[in-house]
Structure 1
């Protein structure tokens, strides 16, 4: 087995970011912060940190607002983020389906 599959995205590859992207990739709708936190099992600070990194990369949009007096934050995948996430998932599938090299002999 040689090389890294083309398409693995270092921005998305970290598990917290991958978890957020997986949730948001399910549709074009906005997803509330609380839903992301509960679905991913991440702490508030981890959701904030990793969502900011995804926003900085252009992979997600973040909208802040409120319902009544309570502040709220929502997330949505961008078209760029959707494309990069799909490419990353395809690269992971290729990686998992590769066969190991059989013609190597272990060192004695």
Structure 2
């Protein structure tokens, strides 16, 4: 068994790590705020968020506020658990 086998491959990207970190401490975060916090392009954020959504790690809400579309993100219970396990394994690796 590899030393890194306990790491979650879905969190290898710095963008996904950033998204999950932001969502661990915030309820809902909208697209623009997340984009600004992570300093990424629209397309970059959209592709990473859809990958996390596909794995049921985040929930994506699309709505209209007036006539403007708004996309928001929230971490799921499954996402929170998976991310905590990922972080715990990183800590365990650093202590070895």
TM-score, scaled to structure 2: 0.91
Once the 2 structures are TM-superposed, how far is the Cα of residue 47 of structure 1 from its aligned partner? 0.5
1:89 paired residue number: 87
Of structures 1 and 2, the one scoring higher in RCO (CA 8 A, sep 6+) is: 1
Matched, 1:10 2:21: no
Q: Which structure has more helix as a fraction of its residues?
A: 2
Give the TM-score, by structure 1 length.
Answer: 0.82
The CA RMSD measured in Å over matched residues stands at 1.5
Task: Give how far 1:15 is off.
Answer: 1.3
Give unpaired runs (5+ residues) of structure 2: none
Count the aligned residue pairs: 96
Structure 1 match to 2:36: 38
- The residue that corresponds to 1:69 in the other structure is 67
C-alpha deviation, 1:4, in angstroms: 1.9
Q: How far apart are residue 43 of structure 1 and its match? A: 1.0
The alpha carbon displacement at 1:74 in A equals 0.3
Question: Runs in 1 of length 4+ with deviation above 3 angstroms?
Answer: none
State how far apart, in whole Å, the 2-side matches of 1:6 and 1:45 are.
30
Q: Distance in 1 between matches of 2:48 and 2:85?
A: 19
